[in-house]
Structure 1
Amino acid sequence: MASNDLLAVLVDADNVSPSRIGAVLAEIAQYGVASVKRVYGDWTKPNLRGWKDAASAHVIQPIQQFDNTTGKNATDSALIIDAMDLLYTERFQGFCIVSSDSDFTRLASRIREDGVTVYGFGERKTPEAFRNACDQFTYLEVLDKPDDLETADKPAEAAAETTQERVPGAKLRGDAKLVSGLRAVIDAASGDDGWANLGAVGQLMRKRHPDFDSRNWGYAKLSDLVKAIGLFTVETKPGGMRLKNKKPAA
């Protein structure tokens, strides 16, 4: 359920396709109210032309920033300066940085130093440093299909880019990082009886691994993912689902 937290959404147009922004904003709506929405770029560049319709359709304020010096990313600098100005107002409970650029790693860390939540959105190629600097990081590839603004004439191609096939259970069990991470979190979140609430497991996984998302493996819900892995005892109670690590076979 969405909260009433005020969020500032800052988009790096150089690193995000305009066809993705609708799905990003729908995701952000689960976390709070996007009271500020800005997209940064040099709009004289032909490759950013698609942002004109996207910004208008989603009521995002375009911020023009000319590349005055070759080799320097003026767009990143403008976004960072605006982010700090907005942070100092103390109006926002969260910042959403939409980019795959590691240049925003320090910005995310700085915002979190003030106790403000940072949600990151970027492609799978996003460097680990930026992903881990955020409280929560979501890959663009796992969100809903792109807007029709840019892909209406090639729906098959767009679908291929965004559809995440469900990873089968055997392959999930072979994912050492995923399995060991869940085992450790279940141990940490469990009571004396060894059972851990599913919600607590999900929250702790996000804290330890900001880019953790069951959709990365093609599962809409964490419950579906843990069931598919098949290495945990799953029990559904009136208060919700809980998990326990299975003891290894003797």
Structure 2
Amino acid sequence: MNGNGKGDSLAVLIDADNANPAIIEGLLAEVARFGVASVKRIYGDWTTPGLGKWKASLLEHSLQPIQQFAYTSGKNATDSAMIIDAMDLLYTGTFDGFCLVSSDSDFTRLAARLRESGKMVYGFGEQKTPRSLVAACDRFIYTEIFLQRDDSSAAAAEGHQGAITRRSSQELRQDAKLCNLFRQAIDAAAGDDGWANLGPVGSHITKQMPEFDPRNYGYSKLSELVEGIGLFTLRRDNTLLWIKNQRPEKRGG
């Protein structure tokens, strides 16, 4: 499978019916961390009023709108159009990865199929996204992290979850799954002295939990999240950060 080098060519496919327009700037900035967005397409029935707020973003962010009429009431033709396009783009052999922007579980099989072809798949969706789609991606980023505080009320009014708030140390320690993931990742990456490089620890957790991201807990960096949990020892060695499975020693005072 291709790596996530910054020179990778990516196809960004957005389901306008299942994405919040307020996320677009943060979304594209995140995509740029993984590679170059060579294709940016957004799918929906652009004759409907519901997509009006997306229209302002089309020119500004060079998004190519793909028109898809709803042939039958209650059926989502947009999904089919997006899936067909994704497979057409796959067969060109041009792209190293795909960014699928939707909270719809209908794209689960598409994500799995793209990965079977050796492509990196980055999923973007709200925290309500079904587990099946999250697990089918190499990485899954919850789009609530792209919402600013002043976007929260507007997002809630449209049925979207608001911006994420920082979890306290007590809340983090009560998250048994999170703490166990850290312990297991440290054990897997540690040397004989018990110390593990923080970078590989984060990568190991992501392999086990594609949606893992410190920002989901309100912390901008992995090291800040570790310090917030308070159950592990961190030390800096020049530019490297190391982590160990023990509580940090309390400083006298």
Point out 4+ residue stretches in structure 1 off by more than 4 angstroms. Answer: 158-162
Q: Aligned pairs, how many?
A: 240
Q: Deviations over 1:129-148 (max 9, x none)?
A: 101100001111112539xx
> How far apart, CA to CA, are the structure 2 residues paired with 1:48 and 1:54?
11
Secondary structure at the aligned position of 1:38 is classed as strand
TM-score, with length taken from structure 1: 0.91
Counterpart among 106, 109, 133 of residue 109 in structure 2: 106
Q: Structure 1 residue 71: deviation in Å?
A: 2.9
Give the 3 Å change call, closer, same or farther, for CA 108–156 of structure 1 in structure 2: closer
Q: Structure 1 regions of 5+ residues with no counterpart?
A: 147-153
* Equivalent residue for 2:11, pick from 4, 8, 16: 8
Aligned to 1:223: 223
TM-score by length of 2: 0.90
Mark the CA change 1:156 to 1:215 in structure 2 (over 3 Å): closer, same or farther.
Answer: closer
Alpha carbons of structure 1 residues 166 and 142: separation in structure 2 relative to 1, 3 Å: same
The question of whether the paired residues in 1 share the 8 Å contact of 2:151 and 2:163 is answered with no
AA matched with 2:15: D
Deviation at 1:163, TM superposition (A): 3.6
Write the mapping of 1:162-181 to structure 2, written as runs, cut at 5 A: 162-181=162-181
> How large is the RMSD of aligned CA atoms in angstroms?
1.9
| Higher alpha-carbon deviation: 21-30 or 238-247 | 238-247
d(CA) in 2 for partners of 1:159, 1:210: 24
Report if the CA contact (8 A) 2:125-2:141 is conserved: yes
Q: 1:24 to 1:166 in 2, by over 3 A?
A: same
Q: Which residue of 2 aligns with 1:50?
A: 53
Partner of 2:243: 243
Residue 86 of structure 2 corresponds to which residue in structure 1? 83
In the alignment, the residues of structure 2 paired with residue 12 and residue 166 of structure 1 have an alpha-carbon distance, to the nearest angstrom, of: 29
Question: 2:118 aligned to 107, 115, 118, which one?
Answer: 115
User: Where do 1:14-25 residues align within 5 Å?
Assistant: 14-25=17-28
Q: Which residue in the other structure is 2:189 paired with?
A: 189
Would you say the 8 A contact 1:99–1:122 is kept in 2?
A: yes
Report deviation, 1:2: 6.7
Tell me, what secondary structure is at the counterpart of 1:138? strand
Question: Is the alpha carbon distance of 1:6 and 1:73 closer, same or farther for their aligned partners in structure 2, counting shifts above 3 Å?
Answer: same
Q: CA deviation at 1:74?
A: 0.6
Q: Which amino acid aligns with 2:81?
A: A
Contact 2:151-2:162 at 8 Å conserved across structures: no
Secondary structure of the structure 1 residue equivalent to 2:100? strand
Answer yes or no: is 1:132 the counterpart of 2:135: yes
Distance 2:153 2:5 in 1: 32
The separation in 2 between residues aligned to 1:69 and 1:41, in whole angstroms, is: 14
Q: Distance in 2 between matches of 1:156 and 1:51?
A: 17
Unaligned runs of 5+ in 2: 248-253
Q: Pick the aligned partner of 1:73 from 72, 76, 84.
A: 76
Aligned partner (choices 153, 163, 177) of residue 157 of structure 1:
153
